[in-house]
Homo-oligomer: A and B are copies of this chain.
Amino acid sequence: MSSNRPSPAQPPTLRDVAEAAGVHPATVSRALNPKTRTQVGAETVRRVQRVAKALGYQPNPIARSLKTSRSNTIGLIIPDLTNPLFPPIVRGIESVLEPGGYSSLIVNTDNDPERERVKIESLRSRQVEGLIVATARLDHPLLVELHEQGVRMVLVNRRVEDLEIPYVTADDVTGVTLAVERLARLGHTRIAHLSGPQTTSTGVARARAFRHAVRDQGLEDDPSLIAECAHWSEADGAHALRLLLDRGAQFTAVVAGNDLIALGCYDVFAERGISCPEDMSVVGFNDMPFLDKLRPALTSVRIPHHDIGVEAAHTLLECIEEPARPPRSLLLPVSLVVRDSTARANERRL
Residue numbers of A with Cβ under 8 A of B are 9, 58-63, 65-66, 71, 80-82, 84, 87-88, 90-91, 94, 98, 103-108, 122, 124-127, 149-150, 263, 266, 289-290, 293-297
Contacts and interface: CB of A to CB of B under 8 A. Distances in A.
Given A94-B107, A263-B290, A295-B295, 16 more contacts: A9-B150, A58-B124, A59-B125, A60-B127, A62-B65, A66-B66, A81-B87, A81-B91, A82-B87, A82-B289, A87-B87, A91-B108, A103-B122, A104-B105, A106-B106, A263-B293
12 contacts: A59-B125, A60-B127, A82-B87, A82-B88, A91-B108, A103-B105, A104-B105, A105-B105, A106-B106, A290-B294, A293-B294, A295-B296
Nearest to A88: B82
Contacts of A293: 263, 266, 294-295
Nearest to A263: B293
Nearest to A58: B125
Nearest to A75: B103
Contacts of A84: 84, 289
Nearest to A290: B290
A82 B91 contact: yes
Contacts of A91: 80-82, 108
Residue with the highest number of chain B CB atoms closer than 10 Å, among A62, A82, A289: A62
Nearest to A266: B293
A61 B295 contact: no
Nearest first, the 3 A-B pairs at minimum CB distance are A295-B295, A81-B87, A82-B87
